[in-house]
Amino acid sequence: MPLTIDIVTLFPGFFKSPLEESLLEKARAKGLVRIRARDLRDWTRDRRKTADDKPFGGGAGMVMKPEPIFECVEAIGKNAWVVLLDPQGEPMSQALAAKLAKKKHLVLIAGHYEGVDQRVKDHLIDQEISVGDFITMGGEAPALCLIEAVTRLVPGVLGNEESIQRESFQTGMLEHPHYTRPREFRGWKVPEVLVSGHHKALDAWRKKTAEQATRKKRPDLLK
Q: Do residues 58 and 108 share a domain?
A: yes
CB 101: neighbour CB atoms within 10 A? 18
Question: Is the sign of the CA dihedral 22, 23, 24, 30 positive or negative?
Answer: positive
The answer to whether residues 73 and 172 belong to one domain is no
Same domain, 80 and 116: yes
The pTM for the full model equals 0.90
Does 156 fall in a domain?
Answer: no
Q: How far is CA 181 from the centre of its chain?
A: 32
The total number of structural domains that make up the chain: 2
Q: Are residues 96 and 76 in the same domain?
A: yes
Do 70 and 179 have their domain in common?
Answer: no
Would you place residue 223 in the very low, low, confident or very high pLDDT band (cuts 50, 70, 90)?
confident
Q: Which of 148-157, 170-179, 201-210 has the lowest mean pLDDT?
A: 170-179
User: Is the same domain home to 103 and 207?
Assistant: no
Same domain, 80 and 184: no
So what's the pLDDT on residue 209? Answer: 96
Q: Which CATH number belongs to the domain containing residue 71 in this structure?
A: 3.40.1280.10
Question: pLDDT per residue over 116-125, tens digit each?
Answer: 999 999 999 9
- Assess if residue 157 is contained within a domain: no
Residue 180 structural domain: 162-222
* Strand bridging mode 3-9 / 105-110: parallel
pLDDT of residue 13 exceeding 70, the answer is yes
The pLDDT, as a whole number, for residue 91 is 97
Cα gap 15→7, rounded to integer Å: 9
Residues 70 and 99 in one domain: yes
Query: Do residue 131 and residue 40 come from a single domain?
Result: yes
Q: At 199, which CATH number?
A: 1.10.1270.20
pLDDT above 70 for 23:
yes
| 85 vs 142: CA distance, rounded Å | 7
Residue 43 belongs to some domain of the structure: yes
Q: What's residue 162's pLDDT?
A: 61
Decide if pLDDT at 4 tops 70: yes
Please identify, among 151, 179, 209, the residue that sits at the C-terminal boundary of a domain. Answer: 151
Distances (CA, A) of 184 to 71, 177, 190, 192: 60, 16, 6, 11
* H or E stretch at 88: strand 81-91
> Residue 58 in contact with residue 85, Cβ under 8 Å?
no
Residue 106 lies in a domain: yes
Instruction: Say what the pLDDT of residue 166 is.
Output: 57
The answer to whether residue 146 scores a pLDDT higher than 90 is: yes
